Amino acid sequence: MSLGFCQKRHNLDLAACRRLGIEVVRRPSGGRAVLHLGDLTYAFIAGTADGIPSGVTAAYRLICDGLLQGFHLLGIDAAMGRGVMKPPQHEICFLRGTLGSIMHRERKFVGSAQTWHASSMLQHGSIILVPQIEALVSLWPGSADSPAELRAMLEGRIISLHEILGRLPEMEEVKAAIREGMARVLGIRFDPGELTPGEWTLAKDMANQEDEKNPCPTRTLPKSPSAGSGSALLA
């Protein structure tokens, strides 16, 4: 579970998180809670020197255009959100509409957040592959008047790739489509790579430094560099 940089967590059931083995981390970006369960988490890091337009709105539009191209390659009719979903301040990301949302027939299946440092930016987000409604209901019991109300809200406002396509796509299929869509829009080529041990150490050191400055610390660092913990750290 990743929380926005200064999101309060008073309605999050931490005991339930521990019972289910779900780590709670805090992102460097804003926004609301994302449950990284049955999702694909993406991250895009670049800057104005790389051709990214300055400003949150323009950068969102460019990167989301790349994501949309990828979804169209999968045969998905999708569009950027207009920021009109209500309640606007809900604690769960996928119950909020923002410019970085990507929708299918007015239901959200991608939530994104962005942060800038000088002329460089990070945009990352969650793409729902399979429904996670029951898990969210159990982890956020105080975020609605009743579990039934929260369940109804989630069922009416979010959707998964499984539901859209009528099948569960392979993870590599989705990754390949996103890479191709981003490459087409940005005019670039992606080369595969891995973080080095030194980069993992630097990332953990920087995370600890951020915790010292963060007025709302919550982070639980991954214990070892693995695919799962990397998603938690960066998401």
Q: Which of 6, 17, 64, 93 is catalytic?
A: 93
Give SS3 for 91.
coil
The rounded distance, in Å, linking the Cα atoms of 158 and 233 is 24
What is the dihedral sign for C-alpha 226, 228, 32, 54? positive
Q: How many CB atoms lie within 10 A of CB 173?
A: 14
For tokens 């392979």, what's the residue?
170
Q: Clarify whether 93 is annotated catalytic.
A: yes
Classify the phi-psi angles of 166: left when phi > 0, otherwise alpha if psi is within -120 to 50, otherwise beta: left
CA angle 35, 39, 44 (to 5 degrees): 95
Catalytically annotated residues: 93
